[in-house]
Chain A
Amino acid sequence: MGYLKRRLEFYKRTQKRIKSLKEGPKTTSIGLGDVICVWGDTGPIYGVVTEEGVVKNCILLSPELFLAGDGLLLRAKHLVNLLRVTPVNFYLTPSAQRACEVIGKLKQEDLTKVVENHQKLREENWTGVRKEFFEYETKRIEILYDMFLEFRKQNEQSESQTVTVRWDELKHLFEEKDLELIFRDVPVAQSSAVDLGKFLIVRTESGIRIIFSDELISKTGKVTLVGKIVYSGRIPPELFIAFENPPAVETLKNILNVDVEAE
């Protein structure tokens, strides 16, 4: 058996698959270029943040310098001193971020070098022991991929709770006098939301969100604007009317109505 093969067998014995993450007492803010340690139950996961957002994209950094190929080396000041750039990446969801510790930050130019090196490593055709090592690493940190999938699933579910209609497709329903009512001039100081008990109207830059109370959700009904039906059917948790220039909530509170059918 070759040296690298023996090393891999040894690595597998000492670095077991991570089954849970160990959260700290407070959430750390994590930004682009941050070098992080995700504390797992059986060992650490090191990485560098390469894309920001609610979910952060990271490149896996490995402290196993022989098996991890010939990527760039980074010096760290943690339980380990050296980390190698790998072709593997992972995602950090908000809940995974609670198990993170920021251990350093890369300058923009160094981050660019690391990202380029990672891309180059991804394009390489890894075979044998190295390929097996990267596959094992992906398995070892599988919990992070599972958390990402779970996060996406939840996000998609909450997105599906919103019904979106576009003003462009509705405006033909309204006459000139209706439009004057809807887009009436209002005083400058206006609020962005109004709670009408059965529903809440929120004005955003791109439209109007109507958030229905629990007593209306799932019932059959219709939403009217100046008496014209803009939505009918099962009442969703949220209705979004996309406007280029959304009307003021002060106007809407008097002309927007929801009627549900009696059971």
Chain B
Amino acid sequence: MSKELDREVLKFLKDRRVTPTLEKMLRKIVSSNLVHILGRKNVSKIFGEEKIAVDEIFQDVLGTFWEKRSEILTRNIDNLTGYLVKSVENKIYDYARSRNRKKVLSLDSITDSKSEESTFLDVIQVEEEARRDPLEQILAEKNFEALRNLFSGKEKDLCDFFYKKLFSDEKANIFASGKTVQARYKSHERLAKRIRDFVMENGITEVEFSRITEIYVSEICEKIRQNSEK
């Protein structure tokens, strides 16, 4: 596939002709990357419809390559698939970030998209703005899914552990299901080890892990707690 795609992109850069083959292949790459990077749920949340997202990114990527055609052609770059995939992926990240950000900012009516777009550099202070960065949120949701699958069937135990660490023993009691102190202690020890392994294997940072915990508490533990109270 990549050899054919290379040929089609080169044809486009030389003749400015988007062949049906190029269109089909590039749209497929955009579409699969959208799902792969963001997940279907996020794609519809951010773009409304998957087709709109594919159209926008497809046009954007071709436009960018057209702008860089002289660099590509004079350097005789014939293996273009690597460049193309990288460009598609990065545009998806950027769309996800800017779309979501505009949505958040427009609620507060403090957006200044013109000045934001005109500056070359956009250094984002991780400490100050990480919470508002949609990419961090998307990644946290993905990691949350992985954590949920890993602890499937152990939700109550994990909530007991999180509530004990985050709040207090009293608040955690609702998840303990009458376990003895010793049984609870042993269970927490096992959970702590599995969580540590999960964090280490995935190379998750401290900030990322606290976000995953926040989602777990609100999506899983809160529901269990509300059901228990009923």
Contact = CB atoms under 8 A, between A and B. Distances in A.
A129 B203 contact: yes
B152 to A, nearest CB: 14
A39 B71 CA distance: 9
Interface stretch (A99-107, A198-206, A213-221, A229-237): A99-107
B120 A131 contact: no
B205 A82 contact: no
Contacts of A44: 83, 86
A228 interface: no
Given A42-B82, A63-B90, A3 B143 contact: yes
Q: For the complex of A and B, list the 4 residue pairs with the smallest distance between their C-beta atoms, beginning with the closest.
A: A130-B203, A75-B122, A43-B82, A80-B90
Contacts of B205: 69-70, 124
Interface string A102-117: 0011110010011000
Max count, chain A CB within 10 A of own CB: residue among B81, B82, B198: B82
Contact of A24 (B37, B75, B85, B121): B75
A65 B94 CA distance: 10
Contacts, number: 137
B10 to A, nearest CB: 14
A83 to B, nearest CB: 8
A22 B75 CA distance: 5
Interface string B83-120: 10111011101100100000000000000000000011
A73 B79 contact: no
B139 A66 contact: yes
A146 interface: no
- Looking at chain A's contact residues, the main secondary structure is loop
A43 B203 contact: no
Interface in A55-83: 63-66, 69-82
B192 interface: no
A261 to B, nearest CB: 54
Nearest to A22: B75
Given A39-B71, A39-B77, A70 B126 contact: yes
Given A3-B143, A22-B76, A76-B120, 5 more contacts: A16-B82, A42-B79, A43-B86, A70-B205, A80-B91
Measured as residues with beta carbon below 8 angstroms from the partner, the interface class of chain B is 35 or more
Given A77-B120, A110-B121, A127-B203, A82 B94 contact: yes
24 contacts: A2-B198, A3-B143, A3-B202, A14-B82, A23-B75, A39-B77, A42-B82, A43-B83, A43-B86, A66-B139, A70-B130, A73-B123, A76-B120, A79-B64, A81-B91, A81-B94, A82-B90, A82-B94, A101-B71, A104-B121, A126-B203, A127-B201, A127-B203, A128-B203
B86 A14 contact: yes
A225 B205 CA distance: 68
- Looking at chain B's contact residues, the main secondary structure is helix
Contacts of A129: 201-203
B123 A66 contact: no
A66 B42 CA distance: 15
Contact of A70 (B64, B97, B207): B207
B221 interface: no
Contact of B90 (A10, A16, A81, A105): A81
Contacts of A101: 71
Interface string B190-225: 000000001111111101100000000000000000
Interface of B: 36-37, 64-65, 68, 71, 74-77, 79, 81-83, 85-87, 89-91, 93-94, 97, 119-126, 130, 135-136, 139, 142-143, 145-146, 198-205, 207-208
B146 A3 contact: yes
B36 A65 contact: no
Nearest to A66: B139
A181 interface: no
Contact of A114 (B36, B82, B86, B123): B123
Max count, chain A CB within 10 A of own CB: residue among B87, B121, B135, B201: B121
Contact of B74 (A24, A107, A132): A24
A245 B206 CA distance: 60
Contacts of B125: 72
Nearest to B200: A127
Given A22-B77, A39-B77, A81-B94, A2 B201 contact: yes
A65 B68 contact: no
B124 A73 contact: yes
A74 B74 CA distance: 27
